[in-house]
Every structure is written in C-alpha cells, then in structure tokens.
Amino acid sequence: MKITVTGATGHLGRQVIAELLEQVPAERVAAVVRTVDRAADLAARGVEVRVADYDEPATLAGAFRADERVLFVSGSEVGRRVPQHRAVVEAAAAAGVGLLAYTGILGGPKADLLLADEHKATEELILGSGLPYAFLRNGWYHENYTERLAPVLDHGAVLGSAGAGRIASAARADYAAAAVAVLTGEGHEGRAYELSGDTAWSLPEYAAEVARQSGAPVGYRDLPPEEHRRALVGAGMPEPVAELMVDVDAAISRGLLAGRTGELSRLIGRPTTPLADAVAAGLAARQASQE
C-alpha cells in the first residue's frame, strides 16, 4: 500500500515524509509537489515524486492511485483554497484512494474564526465525495511564534491583541507524527481528531519564556485590535493577512485555541513538545543565521 503526501516540500509535508521514512520503506512513499527540483533529495532517497499543482486541476489527474492512503495538506493561499481543495478532492475521488486524511483546523465546524472558513468548506467537500476520510484538525503550531523571533528580540516585545487568552499549541513535528500514525495505522476511517498540545499558555507567558532563555528584556504588549492591525501592516504584512492575524488573536481571547483534548498525545504515544523546547530551537536557529 502506497502512502502519498501532498505539499510534500512544505514545512509540514517534509516532516511527515521524514517521519514516514523512519517507519516504512521509501518505495511505499509518494510525494506530490509543485516543482520537481525541490524534491530532488526525496527522489534520491527512493521516494516517488509526482508533480501537480492545486491551481491546475489537469495536473492532479496523475497525483493519486487507487487504494493508496493520502495525506492532503491544506494549501497556504488563504482566499484561494476552496477551488484548489475542490480540485484535489475530485482528483482523489476519481482515482479511488483508500483514505484521504485532511489537515484542517482545531474545532472543525465549530471554529468561528476567519481562517476556519475554507477548512470547513473543504471538510464538506470531502464528506460529499463519499471518500473514506480522516480529519486531522490541527491546533496552533509553536513555530507560528518561534519562527518569528527576530522582530521580538529586535524590539523587545511580543505584540498581540489576545489579552490573557491561552493557546494549546504543539510542535509541527507533533502534528506530523500524528498524521503518520493515521496513515500507517488502522481504525481511523471516518474519524475527526481534535489535535492540540498538552499545555496551554498565554502570550505574556511566551514573552517571559523568550526573555528567560535569551536574556533579553522581552515583554508582551497587548494592543487594541485596530492598533494591532496597523502595527502588522506597518511592519510589512499584507493587509488581508494582518486582518486574519488580528482575528486569530480575537479567537484566542475567546478561548478557541485553548482546548486540550489529549488526542494528539494519544495518537503519537508521548507528551507533546513543550513550548520551551520550541523557543530554544528558534533561538538556536536565529543564532546560526547570524554566524
């Protein structure tokens, strides 16, 4: 049985492939990518590379095979994902895949933040397709914060508008391990997993952890939403993205990303990665980039 991963050269896709190769032979793994050159290292390890683009439905006709298990990593282009995802679902249905596991968002149909809209629409498309499915509703990644440490350290501040709201995040590697558990295990068909970290933390606590590990004076500045949006745009973030980020902080303030279901740690068979470990990795990466 082949296991296929879409978006295989993205942050999550690469980690899933790496985890898969620890557990199954390379000839059982296929990577769907936009650009073959970016997957040269995967091909060198024996992974089958298939080229397809979510924006070009005709290319997806060769992306999948009958009966294989597919990890459908959601697209990153917010606002374009419904037609992109429809093309993927239709191609998977035409191929007759054995399982379509989709990376959605924590809360599924109950998530009332802007980023959830396209995920909810995609889940409906999958349900309507009649395909065997599993929904991996991922919570927030530590790396959403720890990969953006440069401006925090440069300005001595974590900016946000989430107040004391808490975030039950986990490392990207934790979510990758959960996907592999579903792709290689049994009994996951028709399941929707609400995946989040074991511990919830607040942005003030995050700022304090960065300060503790870096030795730099870092604090949290809680801003009114409109001021937060202006600060993000002023820092070079496109306005539509800034709107989404402010909306995420509003969701955090309402507790929407604080849920600790325990399903992630149960799937991976270990506790989720502590935030402090991700901060340490982020600081190490920043140090390496400066050398």
Q: Is residue 188 part of a domain?
A: no
> What is d(CA 17, CA 8) in angstroms, rounded to the nearest whole number?
7
Q: Is residue 77 part of a domain?
A: yes
Do 161 and 112 lie in a common domain?
Answer: no
Q: How many domains does the chain have?
A: 2
Do 104 and 147 lie in a common domain?
Answer: no
5: phi then psi, degrees, rounded to nearest 5: -120, 125
What pTM does this model have? 0.96
Residue 268 contacts residue 185 (beta carbons within 8 Å):
no
Terminal CA-CA length for the chain: 45
> What is d(CA 283, CA 285) in angstroms, rounded to the nearest whole number?
5
Amino acid at the residue 51? V
Q: Which pLDDT score is estimated for 254?
A: 95
Do 280 and 144 lie in a common domain?
Answer: yes
Q: Is residue 115 part of a domain?
A: yes
Do 146 and 253 lie in a common domain?
Answer: yes
Q: What is the DSSP letter of 1?
A: -
Q: Which pLDDT score is estimated for 288?
A: 87
Q: Which pLDDT score is estimated for 289?
A: 83
> What is d(CA 255, CA 136) in angstroms, rounded to the nearest whole number?
20
Residue 44 contacts residue 70 (beta carbons within 8 Å):
no
CATH number of the domain encompassing residue 112: 3.40.50.720
Do 160 and 285 lie in a common domain?
Answer: yes
Do 131 and 149 lie in a common domain?
Answer: no
Q: Which pLDDT score is estimated for 201?
A: 98
Q: What is the DSSP letter of 257?
A: T
Do 66 and 153 lie in a common domain?
Answer: no
Do 102 and 128 lie in a common domain?
Answer: yes
CA-closest candidate to residue 268, choices 58, 7, 22, 74: 22
What is the secondary structure of 73-101 as a DSSP string? Answer: PPPS-TTSHHHHHHHHHHHHHHHT-SEEE
Residue 157 contacts residue 219 (beta carbons within 8 Å):
yes
Per-residue pLDDT of the chain (291 residues; tens, 9 = 90+): 899 999 999 999 999 999 999 999 999 999 999 999 999 999 999 999 999 999 999 999 999 999 999 999 998 888 789 999 999 999 999 999 999 999 999 999 999 999 999 999 999 999 999 999 999 999 999 999 999 999 999 999 999 999 999 999 999 999 999 999 999 999 999 999 999 999 999 999 999 999 999 999 999 999 999 999 999 999 899 999 999 999 999 999 999 999 999 999 999 999 999 999 999 999 999 888 887
Q: Is residue 215 part of a domain?
A: yes
- Which residues constitute the domain of residue 279? 140-171+196-258+274-291
Residue 67 falls in which region: left (phi positive, over 0), alpha (psi -120 to 50) or beta: left
Q: Is residue 180 part of a domain?
A: no
Domain end residue (candidates: 138, 153, 182): 138
CATH number of the domain encompassing residue 231: 3.90.25.10
Q: Which residue shows structure tokens 């309402």?
A: 254
Do 111 and 205 lie in a common domain?
Answer: no
Chain CA centroid to CA 244, Å: 16
Q: Which pLDDT score is estimated for 245?
A: 95
Q: Which pLDDT score is estimated for 1?
A: 85
Helix 239-253 and helix 225-234, axial crossing angle in degrees, nearest 10: 140
